[in-house]
Amino acid sequence: MAIITKHSALGFLAGFVSCFLLGAGGLVLLALFARSLVGPAGALAPPPIPSVHPVDYHFAFRDLSGKEHSLADYRGRVVVLNVWATWCGPCLAEMPSLARLHRELAGDPDVAVLCVSREPLEAIRAKTIAGIEGLPLFSCAGQDIPEGFRTRAIPATFIIDRYGHVAFAHVGSADWGAQGVVDLVRGSKSVGPPAEVAVASDPTDQLVESLFAELRGLEMMESSENYTLRAGGAMVTGPKESFLRRRTADEIVSSGLSSGCGDYALLFADRCGRRGLETLLVDGAEISLQSLEHHFSGHVVVAVRGKGPAARWWLVDPTDRRVLTRDWSPESKSFEASGHSYWIGYCGPHEDYPVHGPAELKDFYTRVLAGVPQSVLNRLLCRLQLVPDSSFASVYGGSLDRRLASLADTQTRILASYGIKPERDLVIHLSPGGKDATTSLRFNDKDGWVAKVGSTSSMSEGLLFYFDQTIRRRTEGALASSTASPTGMLP
């Protein structure tokens, strides 16, 4: 148990008073010196040896000159990241040891020591701290600290290895200049990826959350941008659709970018596999009017389990970062995610996934939708009847009948192309919305479904698809009882 000296008690009191004074100005982390590592004579002790967690590189901060930096600038290097504050007694107590660590490693270009405070630069510049000459100090004021670096107390210190994993995390002050810490930091340059070291016997909430943290480090590609990235071993240039289902886990990680649910699922499955868990990639076509029309809506999730005789499959949605169920069967024909229903077309090892690129993906979903039983389509889809009120008719005038007829024809054509005879008819009451193209759809017990349609809405097929998806998100869950599908890809 840590020994609290007279000086540490004073430091705790100062930190508490500062927290009280600053509380009205925003969130302030309480510096708990009781968590500090203190030796018998009051000297700081080296920290204990840690566990491994992935890191989020989306973290911006400024040095004392005001120049902006990002943690991503240090990708591929070993980083000692210290979170501190000028008002925190335990933080100030360990700063000289961090300066010693920085001096010891200053000649190594593969290592960096960064001390980041949430305070404004002016507060940091105004603080005089003896014995820290040359120690890199930064401010992240106005920036969000990534979730993996948020703690209930400071100081908090993280050692990030060159593979982008937090190999060490410690809350409380410590002697960071100790030889054991120097050896740990230098050793972090030569070890293999932690994901290959830690082996799990079963999925756990902690393990899944740690993998979700790594996924949060990926930035979604913009639909309007072109990218030049490695995909399948070759450099490819194009929009994000060009990279659908084409990249390896290492290619995804090295780019820091995701093209969609397939990338999130593939990386999650790869990381689980490295921990000794069994995984299945599960890809399904969405059952909706839009999917039946364009054959390009689907979702990928991952089934994961340990290798013990009593191991159960968890079904995980890496994109939404949610565990869908902890008792799933690979024989299932379908799954539900984020209020949408998906019919499974592939359930197997991610290494054997046969779809590569947008053209193959669209063909895959076309074949999957063609195999959905008629009874399932009849149950899940409904026929929408759009009924305008008198005030709505006055907004569109003579064109209203034509627009409603066009939507009705589109719905009839889609349903007829699959021979669908919906078991339900639903009425949507149309009323005027704002002066833009925004449409909202709400349900109330008195009037049922009511849509407020903006006066500049084109009332295209997209409106019909929006109504369909919104209603099904509120009312569906019917696929859960459908089971007994073969593992692998549908013919």
Going along the chain from its start, the domains and CATH numbers come out as 6-195 (3.40.30.10), 205-373 (3.10.620), 379-475 (no CATH)
Determine if residue 26 is left, alpha or beta; phi over 0 gives left, psi from -120 to 50 gives alpha, anything else beta: left
Q: Report percent pLDDT > 70 for the chain.
A: 82
* Tens digit of each residue's pLDDT (9 = 90 or more) over 235-244: 999 999 999 9
Work out the burial of residue 186: count CB atoms within 10 Å of its CB; fewer than 13 is exposed, 13-18 middle, 19 or more buried: middle
Given the structure tokens 């193959």, which residue do they identify? 360
pLDDT tens digits for range 62-94: 999 999 999 989 988 899 999 999 999 999 999
The amino acid that residue 468 corresponds to is D
Nearest by Cα to 207 from 195, 225, 218: 195
Task: Please say if the pLDDT value at position 2 is more than 80.
Answer: no
pLDDT tens digits for 157-203? 999 888 788 878 888 888 999 888 888 888 766 544 443 334 445 67
Report pLDDT for 193: 44
More confident residue, 4 or 114: 114
The model's pTM is: 0.59
- 284 pLDDT band (50/70/90 cuts)? very high
Higher pLDDT, 401 or 228: 228
Q: Average the pLDDT over 197-217 and give the result.
A: 72
In this prediction, residues 249-269 reach a mean pLDDT of 90
Radius of gyration of the chain, Cα coordinates, nearest whole angstrom: 28
pLDDT of 283 reads 97
Tokens of 75: 């990708």
Residues 377-422 pLDDT 10s: 999 999 999 999 888 777 766 678 888 899 999 999 999 999 999 9
Compute the distance between CA of residue 50 and CA of residue 438 in angstroms, rounded to an integer.
51
Query: Long-range contact list for 263-267, CB < 8 A, 24+ apart?
Result: 263/218, 264/215, 264/218, 264/300, 264/318, 264/319, 265/300, 265/301, 265/302, 265/318, 265/319, 265/350, 266/300, 266/350, 267/214, 267/215, 267/218, 267/318
- 438 compared with 12, residue with greater pLDDT: 438
- Is the pLDDT reported for residue 259 higher than 90? yes
pLDDT of the residue at 201: 56
Q: What is the pLDDT of residue 15?
A: 45
For 162-173, the three-class secondary structure string (H helix, E strand, C coil) is: CCCEEEEEEECC
Q: Is the pLDDT of residue 100 over 60?
A: yes
81 alpha-carbon distance from chain centroid = 22
Residue 168: per-residue pLDDT: 80
Polymer length in residues for the chain: 491
| Mean pLDDT over the full length of the chain | 81
Average pLDDT of the segment spanning 270-281: 88
Which residue type does 453 have?
A: V
pLDDT recorded at residue 482: 40
20 band by pLDDT with thresholds 50, 70 and 90:
very low
End-to-end CA distance of the chain: 63
Q: How many helices and strands, by DSSP H and E, does the chain display?
A: 13, 22
The pLDDT assigned to 162 comes to 81
Instruction: Please report the pLDDT score of residue 44 as a whole number.
Output: 59
What is the per-residue pLDDT across 115-167, written as a single tens digit (0 to 9) for each?
999 999 999 999 989 999 999 999 999 888 887 788 878 999 999 888 788 87
When pLDDT is averaged across residues 256-260 and rounded to a whole number, the result is 92
What pLDDT does residue 421 have? 96
Is the pLDDT assigned to residue 31 strictly greater than 70?
Answer: no
